[in-house]
Structure 1
């Protein structure tokens, strides 16, 4: 990456981030270094960084975002959050729809990305809350229900989701390549990155 050039992206979040982050590393020719049990993946190699932990809910993601400036300032933010909040709501009354929505909005505002894409969870209630924030802000979405589930929360094929993200990265790549002063290296870098601020139960 060119010195001083804005980071193209980072992976941040939960078990879905672990899976998709690993798939995107593999697509870039990098072997993911999963922790035992595949519950977290912390890896930075080339222009792609993954920092994801299974089980994170929106308050934990907010806390982590405030600790990682590189995550907050990525070019493309792919955000998946909400399912764990609804799982936690059965035992923690602070997880109300209003509080979850506030957290989603805060996560969005904390990200200084040029473009944000929300991953809509399988859980119908969580999906509606996330979709409503995306609609309100005019953001793009990727709906997990388009992909075959392995269980109530997780997709069966993470590579398929990573492939669906590729056109978004290519669009960013083309826009940067057309920008004044862009060079081949910077354009290539933008195709290799995405930020995933994610939350779905592992």
Structure 2
């Protein structure tokens, strides 16, 4: 059974819709269009513990130490068996997200593997969902 929390920005919203459309057991979603890491930090934490968490953050932030600090703070507040970060299309932000994921020993899925019309969002979220659920 794939039970998860998807946390983050518009890519998280799209990924959640694709996963929840495909599977009977849905992921809970705390994601919003144009969400920044600072905004995610201000959101109320879920009372439930999840086996898997998918983080989709960084696309709406400037890359660098401030983003890395916010992402690390978000990550430190969650205790899951498995965490997967979606790496943004923008390479500077992807590097920052990847460095935080490596610090915590988390998995990553590089959105750069998937076609995009705007360089921010995947053309087909179902492709991302399938890669996550393999």
TM over 0.5: yes
1:141 corresponds to? 108
Q: Does 1:22 align with 2:1?
A: no
1:162 corresponds to? 129
User: Higher helix proportion, which one?
Assistant: 1
Give the Å deviation of 1:56. 0.4
Which of residues 40, 43, 48 is equivalent to 1:61?
A: 40
Where does structure 1 differ by over 4 angstroms across 4 or more consecutive aligned residues? none
Unpaired runs of at least 5, structure 2: none
Q: 1:22 to 1:100 in 2, by over 3 A?
A: same
Greater relative CO (CA pairs within 8 A, separation 6+): 1
Give the Å deviation of 1:138. 1.9
Q: Does 1:112 align with 2:91?
A: no
Q: Does 1:74 align with 2:50?
A: yes
Normalised TM-score (structure 2): 0.89
Written as runs of structure 1 = structure 2, the 5 A alignment for 1:1-202 is: 8-28=3-23, 47-64=26-43, 66-70=44-48, 73-86=49-62, 97-167=64-134
Instruction: Provide the rounded CA distance (Å) in 1 between the counterparts of 2:78 and 2:89.
Output: 24
Q: 1:144 to 1:47 in 2, by over 3 A?
A: closer
Give the Å deviation of 1:100. 0.8
Partner of 1:112, secondary structure, is coil
Give the Å deviation of 1:119. 0.8
Give the Å deviation of 1:9. 2.0
Aligned residues: 134
Unpaired runs of at least 5, structure 1: 2-7, 30-45, 87-95, 168-202
- Once the two structures are superposed, residues 54-91 of structure 1 have per-residue CA deviations (whole angstroms, 9 ceiling, x without a partner) of 01000111111x34223xx21111112111012xxxxx
Give the Å deviation of 1:47. 4.8
Instruction: Provide the rounded CA distance (Å) in 2 between the counterparts of 1:134 and 1:12.
Output: 15
